Amino acid sequence: MIHHTLLVVLALFFAMALLYVLSQRLKISYPIFLVIGGLVISFIPGTPVIKIDPDLVFLIFLPPLLFEAAWYSSWSQLWKWKRSILFLGFGLVLATSLAIAFSAVNIIPGFTLALGFLLGGIISPPDAVAATSVLKGLSVPRRGLTILEGESLVNDAASLTVFRFAIIAISTGQFVIKDAAIEFFELAVMGVFVGLMIAYFLYLVLRYWARASSITTPITLIAPYLMYIVAEALNWSGVLAVVSGGLFLSFRSSDYLNYHTRQQTHEVWTTLGFLLNGFVFILIGLELPVIIEGLHGNDQHDAIVYALLISALVIIIRIVLVYASAFIPRMLSKTIREKEKSPGLKLPFIIGWAGMRGVVSLASAFAIPLTLADGTPFPYRNLILFITFVVILATLVFQGLTLPLFIKWLKVEEIDEYIPEEEQVEAIRLDLGKRVVQYMDTNYSYEMEQYETIARIKEQFMRSVRATENSNKNTGGKEALKTVRDLNKKILLELINLRRDALKAMHKAGKHDDRVIRLLEENLDLEEARLNKN
C-alpha cells in the first residue's frame, strides 16, 4: 500500500513538471494549467481516486507556503499600505462572508444562516500564489502588487476564524457576536505574539550559536511548522503566527546568513514552494470525481446553478468592496487624500479581478465534519463541497485567463512616484563603487603602487568595464605570486563586506525597495562564492 501511494505521488510530481513546462510554452499561469491538467487526468480511466485529508493539507502545505510568502515580502511596503491590506485581509473576508451568508439563504432552499456563514468563510479568501503567478511579468503598479501580496498574508486567518465559529454555531446552535469578536481579537493578537516569540528564539539560535552553519536552512524549514503547531495547540491563530514569524526572520536575515547559507536557503525554499504549490493545484483538479460522487443526494443541475450564482456573487462583491475600500476612506479623510494619490478606476478593478480562490478554500471545505455532535449527518456538506470547487474553478480559470487581457487593455500605469528598479540598481552601484574607491585610497595606497594587480582592483570599480587582467608576468616567482594572489583575494573579500554593510544600512534606512537590495545582495553572494572556490 505504501509503495502504491508513493508511486502515485511520484507520478503526480512528474505530471506536474510536464504540465509546468507546457504552461510556460503556452504562456499560461501554471496554477491554472495544473488545475485543468488535474481535471483531465481525473477523467482518464483507471486513475486512482485521491481524497484530500484536510488536516494534512493545513499541517503540511499551509505553514511553509505562508512562511515563503512572508519571507519574500517587503516589510516597508506592507507597512506603507497597511490600511488597504488590513481592510482587504480582514474586512473584505468578513464582509464577503456576510454577503454570501444572506445570499445563500435566499438562493438555496433550506439553507440556514449559519451554513451561509460557513460557506462564506470557506470561499472568501483569495489565493496568493494564483494571483502572483498570473501577474508575473505583467505591468502592474507596485501598489497593487504589494496590496495583493499583503492581503494574502492575513486573509487566511480571518477566513479560518469565520469557518471555526460557523462550525461551532451549526454544531451547538449557539452564536454570540460579542464573544466571537473578543475571541477573534484574542486569536489574532496571541497568534502574532507566539510567532514573534518563536521567531526571536530561533533568531538568537541562528545568530549566536548556529551562525552561517549548514544547519541554518533546516532550521528555516522547521520554523513555520513550529510556529503553526504551537499556536494551534494553544487555540490561537497558527496562520498569523507563521506570517509574523516569517516577516521577522526575513527582516533580520542579514544578521545570521552569509553568502553560502543565503544561496542555499533561497534555492531550497524556491524548489519547495514550487513543489508544494504545484502539487496542491493539481490535487484540486483531481478532486472533481470525489466531489461529484458526494452529490448523490442532491440534484446536480440545481447544484450547478447555485454554484455559478454564488461564483458570480463572489466576483462582484470583491470588486465592489475593493472600490469602496479605495475611495470611501479618501472621501472621509483629508489626511489620506493628501498622503496617498488616488488609485484611479483601473487599479481597483485589477485588484478586485485578481481574487482567485485556491487551496485554503478547498482544504476548509474538506475539513467540514461528516457528522454533528449528535451523530446526524452534517447538513449540506456535499453541496458546500461542490459549490466551493466550482467557485475555485470559475475564479481561477476564468479570472486567471482574463486578468492578463484586462491589464493589457486597460494599460494600467504606475500611480505613485516610484524610481524604476534599473535606476535604483545603478544609483546603488554608483554609491557602492565610490565607497570602494575611497576605501582603496585610504587603506591600500601603498599596495596599489607596489602591485599592478591590486591597482587594477580600483580601476575595475572606477571603470566598471572589464575584469582585471592576469598580472603574473610582473610577479617575481611562486612566492611573490602567492602573496599577491592572497592579497588580491583578501582585498576583494573586504570590499564585498564593505558593500554588504552599506546595503544593510540602506535596507534599514528604507530608501530603496527590498527587492532591489535583495538582488544586489545576491550578486555579492555570487562574487564571494566565486572567490572562495579559488
Residue 94 phi, psi dihedral angles, 5° rounding: -65, -40
At 213-229, the pLDDT tens digits run 678 888 889 999 999 99
Instruction: Sort residue 477 into left (φ over 0), alpha (ψ -120 to 50) or beta.
Output: left
Cβ of 331: how many Cβ atoms within 10 Å?
9
**CA-CA distance, 447 to 453, in Å (whole number)?**
9
Res. 4 pLDDT band, cuts 50 70 90: low
At 409-446, the pLDDT tens digits run 888 877 767 667 667 766 777 777 788 778 888 888 87
Domain ranges of the chain: 2-52+76-192+257-410, 421-533
Sequence-distant contacts of 422-430: CB under 8 A, at least 24 apart: 424/512, 424/513, 424/516, 425/516, 425/519, 425/520, 428/503, 428/506, 428/512, 428/516, 428/517, 428/520, 429/464, 429/520
Burial status of residue 332 (CB atoms within 10 A of its CB: 0-12, 13-18, 19 or more): exposed
Q: What pLDDT is attached to residue 52?
A: 67
**CA-CA distance, 318 to 277, in Å (whole number)?**
24
At 18-76, the pLDDT tens digits run 888 888 888 777 888 888 888 888 777 777 777 666 667 778 888 888 888 788 777 77
Is the full-model pTM beyond 0.85?
no
**CA-CA distance, 229 to 63, in Å (whole number)?**
9
- The three-state secondary structure class of 372 is coil
Contact 245, 198 (CB under 8 A): yes
Bridge partners of residue 371, in order along the sequence: 377
Amino acid at 254: S
At 75-123, the pLDDT tens digits run 777 777 888 888 888 888 888 888 998 899 898 888 888 888 889 888 9
Instruction: Sort residue 451 into left (φ over 0), alpha (ψ -120 to 50) or beta.
Output: beta
Q: Which CATH architecture has domain 2-52+76-192+257-410?
A: Up-down Bundle (1.20)
Q: Which 3-state string (H, E, C) describes 441-496?
A: HHHCHHHHHHCHHHHHHHHHHHHCCCCCCCCHHHCCHHHHHHHHHHHHHHHHHHHH
Grid cell at residue 464: 566598471
**CA-CA distance, 269 to 258, in Å (whole number)?**
16
Residue 192 phi, psi dihedral angles, 5° rounding: -60, -40
Amino acid at 515: R
Res. 468 pLDDT band, cuts 50 70 90: very low
